[in-house]
Amino acid sequence: MPPMPPSAQRRGPSWVDKLKMGMLMGGTVGGIMGLIYGTVTVFQYGGGQAGVMRTLGKYMVGSGATFSVFMGIGSLIRTDCPQTASSVWARSRYPPLIHPRRDRIQFR
């Protein structure tokens, strides 16, 4: 089977895809943490006037939404364009620049 032509190959996920993936992961983790924290709260203080399921739902949605926003923003910050990454890599190949110390007295 011949290889795919370069025009048909996919370049990778866009920043929108990365944002959605970060928000999905954050919402999942935040929802699970809200379930755990809400369950502990219901066992300690009871369901209150809203009831057990509504109280658990509030904790899960609140925690999931908060963590989803932060993970989405974090995934956008983590996103690098290929030009930036290659230029940083190219600059890192130079030897380190070492300046002489200025606090010592130099005798000539």
Over 60: is that where the pLDDT of 9 sits? no
Q: Residue 3: what residue type?
A: P
- pLDDT at 32 (0 to 100): 97
Q: pTM here? A: 0.64
Over 70: is that where the pLDDT of 49 sits? yes
- pLDDT at 86 (0 to 100): 61
> Are 29 and 82 in contact, with CB atoms under 8 Å apart?
no
Please give the span between the terminal C-alpha atoms of the chain, in angstroms, as a whole number.
73
Backbone φ and ψ for 102, nearest 5 degrees, come out as -100, -10
Q: Residue 82: what residue type?
A: P
The mean pLDDT value of the chain amounts to: 82
